[in-house]
Amino acid sequence: MQSVHANYKPLTPTKELVLLCDGVNGPANLGSIFRTSDAFGVLKIYSNRSIPIDSARFRKTARNTQTRLSFQENFDLLIAIDALKSKGYLVIALEITKSSIPIAQSRALLNHKIALLVGDENHGISDDVLARADEIVHLPMFGQNSSMNVAQATAIALFQIATHE
């Protein structure tokens, strides 16, 4: 069997997706998030931290996607959320809380403009940012741990959002 990478033609995204990173700062995580964002047609990444694009760990996992993706670092996420909502985006927070629902049950996934909000590797999404979300979703998990790596969780959520019809 031969690889088909040379003949690859990207799909046309059916939704307008942006990503909001609240406190995510690990270079490998951010690089992976960039690569996954490129794969699922994310239009822009907003981060309230610096994005270490010069880091070897970032570059290794991002695989040059930072040259194709629009991103804004050190940005006030509350301002970004208000601006996105004024443009018709729904903000979906990926966080496990008492009121979060499994992502597959989200009615917001039917919207064509979605801003996915993900949080810090250790503490999740800050309370003030989380309060601005239109909906809070979580990934159902079967193991004993209550969370997973932010880059992996973001990838799963972006897949759910991008392919949900």
**55-72 average pLDDT score:** 97
In whole angstroms, give the CA distance from residue 57 to residue 83: 32
Q: What percent of the chain has pLDDT over 90?
A: 84
pTM: 0.94
**61-78 average pLDDT score:** 97
- Residue range 110-165, pLDDT digits in tens: 888 999 999 999 999 999 999 999 999 999 999 998 889 999 999 999 999 999 87
161 CB-contact burial (10 Å; exposed 0-12 / middle 13-18 / buried 19+): buried
In whole angstroms, give the CA distance from residue 12 to residue 116: 19
**73-84 average pLDDT score:** 98
Backbone angles phi, psi at 84, to 5 degrees: -65, -40
Superfamily of domain 15-163: SPOUT methyltransferase, trefoil knot domain (3.40.1280.10)
Q: Residue ranges of the domains in the chain?
A: 15-163
Pairing of strands 90-94, 135-138: parallel
